[in-house]
Amino acid sequence: MFVDNPKTYMIERIVACLTYPTMGLVGFVWIIIGQITRSIPTTFTAYHCYLSIFLSLGYVIFNYLFWFLYNLITHIPFVNGVAAQIVYLFNMPLLYGYSFMQILIYGVICYLALGGLWGKYSYLPWFSDIIKSIVKK
């Protein structure tokens, strides 16, 4: 299904790097262009494209679920104050106006993008194992 090429080309590295900050959009477009031109993507490019799309969808779903549960919890007396304090602590400005959650998310995006730019298979526990099993088929 995918071509296993030990040498990565620069265009593949650029696509792998740009797919993470754009939340998978560049990777999705790259896969669509590959389907239109009937070219077989390399495992390196497919890995990074699928990982970025999977992480982006997971982030959106997690975010919606979290805020839905938070809105439910805010109606419970005595618990709403604790929940609000915890959410505030994770989202308050910490370093140059960035919160802890923003620093964590941007750090993961930078790690993955730099790994793609350097031609490496960036590893995130659990997520990378799922994507590797999909790409190896």
Residue pLDDT, tens place only, 64-80: 999 999 999 988 888 88
Residue pLDDT, tens place only, 47-58: 999 999 999 999
Handedness of CA 132, 19, 40, 34 (dihedral sign): positive
What pTM value is reported for the model?
Answer: 0.87
| Domain boundaries defined on the chain | 10-136
Q: How far apart are CA 94 and CA 41, in angstroms?
A: 41
- At 123 the pLDDT is 92
- How many CB atoms are closer than 10 A to CB 24? 21
CB-based contact 31:43 (threshold 8 Å): no
- At 47 the pLDDT is 94
Parts of the chain with a pLDDT under 70: 1-2, 4-5
Among 33, 24, 43, smallest CA distance to 137 is for 43
